[in-house]
Chain A
Amino acid sequence: MDVIFGNLDLWGTAIQNTLIVFVGGGVFALILGIIIGAMRVSPVPIARGVGMVYVNIIRNTPLTLVFFFFVLGYPALGLPRLSPMVLGIIAIGIYTATYVAEVLRAGINTVPVGQAEAARAIGLPFGQVMTLVVLPQAFRSVVPPMMSVFIALLKNTTIAAGFSVSELAALRATVNDSAGRPGSPMEVLLLVALVFVVLVLLLSAVQHRLEKKWRIVR
């Protein structure tokens, strides 16, 4: 128990930073992913091409390398300095956006073509066809896989620990290296794993709620 109460200050910051990276990266990935997903089914060939190239390049790059590029590479470009936290959020957002886009594309493919054709027939432009007719239906059918993407995102936040974001995964090193702090690395690891289990259970509960709420009557 000492490992919790003796390091309360650390646990607070660690969980907070994990959640910041998760929420920041998640929102970023969702927005970017929707744009990319829409690009991949758009009638404009250039947009389709850009979407495809983006997804294929980023999705095939290990996340650690994406982090490398942002956290260690970006600063060398001489652009304005950003904190490792912000760079980490961008890195994980850009990476996860590809998965969001692909899941969404799968969802769009479940919407009957007749829906989009009908929307076009009443004169809606592509943007409105997507936002008013296709995407709302697509979202409903992809709740489970989308939640899987976000659970993966949550666990991927631990990579940020190696890139100067002091979050849950970095806690072990801190406790281990400090003579004044109680707890062994093993205890910390188990507790960190437990925190992640709790967070994932929360996400699963959210998924369950959304599935019930958005059930499509076919």
Chain B
Amino acid sequence: MRFKKVFATIGLVSAAALALTGCTSGSPSDSKDGGSSSDSKNPWTVAESVSLDGSPTFDAMKKRDKVIIGVKEDQPNLGYFDNVTQERSGFDVDIARWIAASLGFDENKIEYKAIASANREQAIKNGDIDYYVGTYSINDKRKNDVDFAGPYFVTGQGLLVKKGSPDYQSLEELNGKTVCSATGSTPIQNIKENFPKIKTQEFDLYSACVENLKNGQVDAVTTDQAILIGYAAQDPDNLMVTTGPLLTKEEYGIGLPKGDDVLRAHMNKTLTDGGDIWTKIFEKNLGGSGITVDQPKVNAY
């Protein structure tokens, strides 16, 4: 009996270790019509002979004949890298491709770099990447270091729970329970400061939180609803996103080097003019989740 438990634990730990190192056996299914991104016709077209005068970032891209985009790769249906098929998929990734196409770069001229949340500003400042698309919330503090095109998506703090849990409508209902999120993230800070009765756990990766949710260590995982929807879609038999109102408002933007107003204006124009393309990208990646969202109006500050 004891032995069984020990073996189960060893199994679980190795599974968690594998999950965290990205060797996941399961991957978000491409159940949506269109199948994998390679054989479906992209809704955007690659622009010809683009010229942007006065954009140092664009000049650098042209010179190397390649665009380098910062992305996430651990967020199913948003920014995801499938180790098995070696393909990138998700809403954010498609937005990144669309922007690259508007600048005249086809898929074979894109280099992706996975950059963790905490290193985004530095990577843009260093010029490691040309722009960043990956659940990047626009806020004034970040505007000191980088500029944002967009927003291209609006979401907010939501809750992911086990199937069969109560459908929490507010954080107060979680008093005495344990909630998990990414280390130091805004939702965790919000709970620590305003809901002292809720116990918190923080891990570097959401996958660890989701793992702990499944084995009953935590009662809920909280972060931007868009990210949670991706996880719920991966395991709809065990997980669900609560239907309560969003607790905060987050606007996702495209991060680019500060002061490159020409490039920012180009991106904003692309987003504004391409409403149909945005809708198609959304349908393809998040349409199956049952939420309906309209494209937000860009803020050309």
Contacts and interface: CB of A to CB of B under 8 A. Distances in A.
Question: By DSSP majority rule, is chain A's interface helix, strand, loop, or mixed?
Answer: helix
B92 to A, nearest CB: 18
Contact of B201 (A76, A84, A172): A84
A65 to B, nearest CB: 7
B204 interface: yes
Contacts, number: 92
Chain B: interface size category: 35 or more
B185 to A, nearest CB: 5
Chain A: interface size category: 20 to 34
B184 A184 contact: no
B185 A177 contact: yes
B118 A185 contact: yes
A153 B202 CA distance: 22
Contacts of A182: 141
Interface in A149-177: 161-164, 166, 170-177
B9 A73 contact: yes
B299 to A, nearest CB: 16
A77 B202 contact: no
Contacts of B94: none
B215 A177 contact: no
A76 B9 contact: yes
B117 A176 contact: yes
Contacts of B217: 75-76, 81
Nearest to B116: A173
A173 B208 contact: no
B215 A176 contact: no
A77 B121 contact: no
B185 A77 contact: no
Interface of B: 5-6, 8-10, 12-13, 16-17, 117-119, 121-122, 139-142, 145, 182-186, 189, 201-204, 208, 211-212, 215-217
